[in-house]
Chain A
């Protein structure tokens, strides 16, 4: 007997992600899902971002890694609440893992929550966690062919941070190719070229992010779901 079953395979995760999102909305909290390959600079970028914004914004961090607590320790040294998730092998975070961290946070005391996903340019793009939007990092050392090789990540992200631009003289990476291919995949992508090492470009990124946090809290004050 054939039975028609029209169901999204990821529906269970998407349901939990929607519930997470609703909770974040109640607290006017902007949530970003930060993704990249291992070693592209997620934690360094996050440290720099916290340094730039912690005077004005209350920030919390969820760190996702297969093993170890070293990233959460790095973030905690910045004086912001950080919770480590060890996925124990899983290559991405999902809605349920994020939900399990909730008892560790007081969301009424936060303006921005950053979820640092497991380093992986493929899987995290498929799993929503309840974020407002996804931010991805591509470091120039990884090469300029990544948008065409991993289009889903570029398509799902709202922001692309091209990191380690201080290395451009030493690597065969054409930023114009990254820009052309990633904007073909996602014409609305917001791109920043940065170096966590030299600090170049970081101010533009943090200014942009600060505006999004303010927009979110303003939207709620005006009664819109923004």
Chain B
């Protein structure tokens, strides 16, 4: 249950960004949540809704895109889908691969007034 910490960090960033853009209300915010990150979207929404009560962020929709795991094999020079958490190149069997997607926990955009 670390969604409360994540929600707090998220709100700090949103408040900074809203101040930067002189926004008075937050309509929605879009997040990228990697398949590998241990986040339960419903818990995050719940924590977010509780913390933003009575603030200009109240009522904002939390839109979450789940990003599937993707790897890149430097030997084959190509990307591939990581399935069932097997971090091995399906073509050559190499284990020295890079994880290029699926570990995100980031903000993509926000809609403000």
Identify which of A24-32, A181-189, A209-217 touches chain B. Answer: A181-189
**B interface: dominant SS:** mixed
Q: Mark B1-13, 1 if CB is under 8 A from A, else 0.
A: 1101110011011
Assess whether B38 is in contact with A6, with CB atoms less than 8 Å apart. Answer: no
Assess whether B38 is in contact with A5, with CB atoms less than 8 Å apart. Answer: no
**Residues in chain A near residue B108, CB distance under 8 A:** 4-6
Q: Mark A161-173, 1 if CB is under 8 A from B, else 0.
A: 0000000000000
How many A-B contacts are there with CB distance less than 8 Å?
A: 99
Contact of A3 among B13, B38, B110 (CB under 8 A): B110
Given known A-B contacts A5-B110, A126-B38, A10 and B85 have beta carbons under 8 A apart? no
CB distance from A208 to the nearest CB of B (A): 20
Q: In the complex, which range does the number of interface residues on chain A fall in?
A: 20 to 34
Identify which of A87-95, A103-111, A194-202 touches chain B. Answer: A87-95
Q: Which of A113-161 contact B (CB under 8 A)?
A: 122-123, 125-127, 147-148, 150-152, 155
Assess whether A186 is in contact with B87, with CB atoms less than 8 Å apart. Answer: yes
**Residues in chain B near residue A126, CB distance under 8 A:** 2, 6, 37-38, 105
> What's the Cα separation between A211 and B51 when bound, in Å?
47
Assess whether B88 is in contact with A187, with CB atoms less than 8 Å apart. Answer: yes
A2 touches B (CB below 8 Å): yes
B111 touches A (CB below 8 Å): yes
Assess whether B111 is in contact with A9, with CB atoms less than 8 Å apart. Answer: no
Contact of B2 among A91, A151, A186 (CB under 8 A): A91
CB distance from B41 to the nearest CB of A (A): 13
A55 touches B (CB below 8 Å): no
**Residues in chain A near residue B31, CB distance under 8 A:** 9
Q: Which of B1-59 contact A (CB under 8 A)?
A: 1-2, 4-6, 9-10, 12-14, 17, 21, 23, 29, 31, 36-38
> What's the Cα separation between A141 and B28 when bound, in Å?
45
**Residues in chain A near residue B1, CB distance under 8 A:** 91, 123
Q: Mark A23-46, 1 if CB is under 8 A from B, else 0.
A: 000000000000000000000000
Assess whether A5 is in contact with B13, with CB atoms less than 8 Å apart. Answer: yes
CB distance from A74 to the nearest CB of B (A): 26
Contact of A187 among B21, B95, B111 (CB under 8 A): B95
> What's the Cα separation between A12 and B12 when bound, in Å?
9
Assess whether B38 is in contact with A4, with CB atoms less than 8 Å apart. Answer: no
Q: Which of B59-100 contact A (CB under 8 A)?
A: 84-88, 95-96
Contacts A5-B14, A7-B106 known; 12 new A-B pairs at CB < 8 A: A1-B23, A1-B111, A4-B109, A5-B107, A5-B110, A6-B107, A7-B13, A9-B105, A11-B9, A94-B5, A126-B37, A184-B86
26 examples of A-B residue contacts, CB within 8 angstroms: A2-B110, A2-B111, A5-B17, A9-B9, A9-B13, A9-B31, A9-B106, A12-B9, A12-B13, A91-B2, A94-B5, A123-B38, A125-B38, A127-B2, A127-B5, A148-B84, A151-B85, A152-B36, A152-B38, A155-B87, A181-B85, A184-B85, A184-B86, A185-B86, A186-B87, A187-B95
Question: Which residues from chain A sit less than 8 Å from chain B, CB to CB?
Answer: 1-13, 90-92, 94, 122-123, 125-127, 147-148, 150-152, 155, 181, 184-188
